[in-house]
Amino acid sequence: MIDLKNLTIEKAHESLSRGDFSVRELVDVYLGNINSKNKELNAYLGLYKNIDEEVRLAEEKFKNGTATLLTGIPFAVKDNILIEGETATAGSKILENYIASYDATAVKLLKKEGVIFLGRTNMDEFAMGSSTQTSAYGVARNPLDLTRVPGGSSGGSSGAVASLMTLSALGTETCGSVREPSAFCGLVGLKPTYGAVSRHGIIAMGNSLDQVAPFGKSVRDTEIIFNVLAKYDPKDATSVKEELRLKSKISNLKPKTIGIPWHLFETGVDGEVMENFKKSVKKLEGSGYKVVDIKMPYTKYSLAVYYIIMPSEVSTNLSRFDGVRYGLSMAGESVNDSYKKTRSQGFGAEARRRITLGNYILSQGLSGAYGKAVKAREAIVKEMDQTFQKVDLVLTPTVPFLPFKIGEKMDDPVAMYLSDLFSAPANIAGVPSIALPSGINKEGLPFSIQFMAPHWREDALFEIGKKFEIIDEYEKK
């Protein structure tokens, strides 16, 4: 019997190489779990057609000695990442019957490794949400507590990994959409440096913010996936060439000094979360890390800046869904009437809210809120760079509160948006960040902390993450 609970990518590879079980047997166990659990969790929106062929190709790689660490590893894929010939709806009715005509670059890279793509996962519509409740295809549930959300917008991916319906998964990050679901489901989630992983083949929400990002049950799992995906892609104008990455990388960083911007969470953080965070800080100090208080006066405006830049980009990106070229098309008495019917029936409430907000912001011109937000973003980026000249890493809680009940914040969008309070700085500045499990409370709900590092220093996040896993495991014993 395969021990899925303790299975990691490396353990699976070793077992597949030894012949303890075959790729077919591994995949069938996960498919069995999907069959028995997904109706309740609603993590998957559909299974892919080519599973059997991918299994055959992966088993050939093991036979001929070309298998890599990811060969035969089951993956779930967020529903806004394109796989040729498969449905991709971005969680929206407006793309209900859309079939992708090509592979996203991230998918191409994983296909070369021989992974097994199981199915597409539920998500907030067009990645607009922090709970996977705005999906047009029903809410997803947290496998740790079915009355609670799994986080968002990549909640289907996090729920699939946490419920053992896949070993690994891809999500996308615009503002915490992988780190927050990781926190809510007790997983590791990585947000790479902006430009590290290709955005080609991703249904866009906010071009200057969107990123493909991996979920894992361990830091090492996310590291393995990231190392495969972190390639320059000429098809993505925001992808950065390897030589430029090396040139702008702070060299020889060995994480020793950790900065904490305590002033950013003096209020608004749940008591249990703060208590766990302080315990985590003590664990790090006890293991030899120097922890210092830092001030980041501009960074505190990251969430406000995000909610100006993001809806502005949303309003332009979603203008392409007009009922003419692809997706839902509603007949009307005129072209404008057709547009109106298609978009009003195709988009959900949150998408319409953000489109409307973005249109309003952009109508003010560069002298209005958008122009000011861009200038504030530049100040935040500069401040973040200056901060990393003083400390090696920045540490905060991942989310200000624990997983909340389904329906709890739906009538208060501002309260929902506060889920991104600690996520926004890394997205606005474009720096990498990793969310790490940091314990559970009496109800079995997970705590999480996150580290931020300088641009292109994912390796520093992997190093501190692995050490924290060891520290945390030792403390449990």
Degrees, nearest 5: CA angle 341-346-347:
110
CB 308 within 8 A of CB 364: no
Q: How far is CA 176 from CA 89, 138, 211, 306, in A?
A: 21, 21, 10, 11
Distance, in Å, from the CA atom of 450 to the CA atom of 398, rounded to the nearest integer, reads 5
Q: How many helices (H) and strands (E) does the chain have?
A: 16, 11
Helices 105-113 and 219-229 pack at an angle, to 10 degrees, of 110
Residue 437 structure tokens: 């499990």
**Pairing assessment for the beta strands 168-173 and 74-78 based on DSSP bridges:** parallel
SS (H, E, C) 219-245: HHHHHHHHHHHCCCCCCCCCCCCHHHH
Give how far the C-alpha of residue 2 lies from the chain's centroid of Cα atoms, to the nearest Å.
27
Cβ pair 200, 235 in contact under 8 A: yes
Q: Is 174 strand, coil or helix?
A: coil
H-type alpha helices, 65-162: 105-113, 155-162
CA 81 remoteness from chain centre: 12
Q: Which amino acid is at 290?
A: K
* Start-to-end CA span in the chain (Å): 27
Please give the positions annotated as active site: 78, 153, 177
Structure tokens at 358: 């973005």
SS3 448: strand
